[in-house]
């Protein structure tokens, strides 16, 4: 048998002691379904896949699943040793998932979001997809330093210098 539909025909010819012969055949289609198939994707987490301070208040990881995936199959998400599991469900007309992520799961800089889906097809075959890794960056801090140069040589403004004071410095 090969994967998918197979046409089987059985033909039997019998004879009895009196010499009567009968041939009977029967055709049947048998389907071989020996494995489940599925795939999973990760949508962009932000427009540029860099989470800023404002975006870090609500982090949602979403994506789609395809193949033999069905409502209720399990999606596993892992970020920096933290794991969440959610159900596959219909989202905007397709099967997908939506996991709310605590911002403490991510650190400044590069983070990998890892997802997989475990499915069971109608024939009872089970499969967990290979992990799909989606990079995301966290940049929630801003640094700045400002210095003011001395206003005068001794940093004291006298009457002569008071008419033209210039402040300079570095940012």
* pTM assigned to the model: 0.72
Residue the block writes with tokens 């009968």: 22
2: pLDDT strictly greater than 90: no
Q: What is the model's pLDDT at position 89? A: 97
Q: What is the model's pLDDT at position 27? A: 94
pLDDT tens for each residue of 86-104: 999 999 999 999 999 999 9
Q: What is the model's pLDDT at position 143? A: 87
How do 89-91 and 94-101 pair as beta strands?
antiparallel
154: pLDDT strictly greater than 90: no
How far is C-alpha 146 from the geometric centre of its chain's CA atoms?
42
Q: What is the mean pLDDT of residues 38-46?
A: 96
110: pLDDT strictly greater than 90: yes
Contacts of 125 (CB under 8 A, 6+ apart): 33, 34, 35, 36, 68
Q: What is the model's pLDDT at position 139? A: 95
Could you tell me which of 81, 42, 84, 46 has the C-alpha nearest to residue 65?
A: 42
Q: What is the model's pLDDT at position 15? A: 95
The pLDDT-based confidence of 59 (bands split at 50, 70, 90) is: very high
């Amino acid at each position: 048998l090969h994967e998918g539909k197979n046409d089987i025909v059985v033909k039997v010819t019998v004879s009895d002691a009196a010499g009567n012969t009968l041939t009977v055949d029967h055709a049947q289609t048998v389907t071989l379904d020996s494995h489940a198939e599925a795939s999973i994707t990760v949508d962009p987490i932000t427009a540029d896949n860099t989470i800023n301070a404002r975006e870090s208040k609500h982090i949602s990881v979403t994506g789609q699943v395809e193949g033999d995936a069905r409502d209720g199959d399990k999606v596993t998400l892992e970020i920096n040793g933290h794991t969440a599991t959610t159900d596959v469900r219909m989202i905007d007309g397709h099967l997908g998932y939506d996991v709310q992520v605590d911002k403490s799961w991510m650190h400044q800089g590069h983070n990998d979001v890892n997802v997989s889906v475990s499915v069971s097809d109608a024939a009872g075959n089970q499969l967990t997809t290979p992990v799909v890794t989606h990079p995301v960056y966290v940049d929630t801090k801003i640094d700045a330093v400002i210095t003011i140069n001395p206003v005068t040589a001794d940093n004291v403004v006298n009457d002569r210098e008071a008419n033209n004071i210039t402040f300079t410095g570095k940012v």
